[in-house]
Amino acid sequence: MTLKYVWLDVDPGHDDATALMMACQLENIKLLGVSSVHGNASADCTANNTARCLHAFAAPSDVLVYPGACKPLLRPTKHDPEIHGEDGLGGVVGLPSADSPEVQARFARKVDGSFIHAIEGMATAIKDAWRNGTGHQVSVVSSGPMTNIALFVSVYPHLIEAVEQFVFMGGGVGVGNRSAVAEFNIMCDRACLVEICYGACLDPLLAEAAQIVLDVPVKTVMIPINVTHTAIVTSAIHSRLRSPYLPFLDGVLAHPSTNLRSTLSSVISFFAGTYKSTFGFDQGPPLHDALTITYVSHPELFRAQRFRVDVELHGKHTAGETVIDVWNYRICDDSWGSNGKNCVVAQSVQVDQFFELLLECVTRCDAISPLNVQQQ
């Protein structure tokens, strides 16, 4: 099995937490670092949540958090408290507090103690992995608004050759979850204006985050909500997550067998409740973001097709829509990027195999998670 070098960009978020757990435990994933971004909650909350998850899920000690963009580049900031709670991980129990030493140790810092910014950390990790072509390309995986990713490709265009693929959870084919046609991650930052300082000031950069990433001449993979909405954590799967030993009988969930499993169960339970009350999902919540890292690790589980994809930026009713040219109306060449069929769009996933993979990761994490130490 080929080892995949990965940079993960997240906005935890309950489903982001499951993506982080899998990224830490999949045997063919070499996680280089994790950047956090505004999205499901404020940038401070998502950064702290990322560090809390890395500790809980026993990430290697050199996998650190690099806080990133705190707002979209142009549009007003959007968060999603009705789905994820005010702090992004509403209802989750068992994680260490954000100010605990073990969580603070997960942040990448400069000599003066200040945080290393997301795109700076991303650039360093990708450059070091690539080694001017003698090393490895990196898959950049995004489960939140793509502000950090758009900034990276704009500020460090010379490193684009070191990227194997961009894989993002977002968008939909003719459907949305934050308007009739727009999905949350894409709607959050479809257009943006930012001024960044790295020793010297850059000119203000007008960026259209999702479209910028789609126009980069690198393979891009979209995991849309049409697919993620099929990856439902049913009660039977939830019960197996809580305990691999106890049966699921008469609709009663098994008692969590470890602290880690109790924490993961609380992730699922809160998410299930908000998805039922907001969207009417009765069978359980969809694990959107975990499918991104699954695609990198096991692309054979997905059926996908390459299309031209663009983001509608200005429509009164359609702003934020991912427009998939299913019928090839636009003349495109075979390149990736602005003139070609620029995106592989997932169309289905083998759901049963995905959840077996998820549960295998839980088992591996269970054996080493510091959350379980106090039980021993």
pLDDT tens-place string over residues 75-85: 667 777 888 89
Rounded-to-integer distance, Cα 168 and Cα 220, Å: 8
Among 79-88, 265-274, 347-356, the range scoring the smallest mean pLDDT is 79-88
Query: Stretch 278-300: mean pLDDT, rounded?
Result: 95
Taking the whole predicted model, whether its pTM rises above 0.85 is answered as yes
Query: Stretch 182-205: mean pLDDT, rounded?
Result: 36
pLDDT of residue 359: 98
**For residue 17, is pLDDT > 90?**
yes
Calculate ∠ Cα 372-373-376, nearest 5°: 95
* Mean pLDDT rounded to a whole number for the chain: 88
**For residue 376, is pLDDT > 80?**
no
Q: What's the pLDDT band for 180 if we cut at 50, 70, 90? A: low
- pLDDT over 70, % of the chain: 87
Cβ neighbours of residue 64 closer than 8 Å, sequence gap 6 or more = 33, 34, 54, 106, 107, 108, 121
Q: What's the pLDDT band for 146 if we cut at 50, 70, 90? A: confident
Query: Stretch 243-258: mean pLDDT, rounded?
Result: 91
User: Is the model more confident about 184 or about 366?
Assistant: 366
Rounded-to-integer distance, Cα 60 and Cα 102, Å: 13
Rounded-to-integer distance, Cα 303 and Cα 360, Å: 22
User: Is the model more confident about 313 or about 131?
Assistant: 131
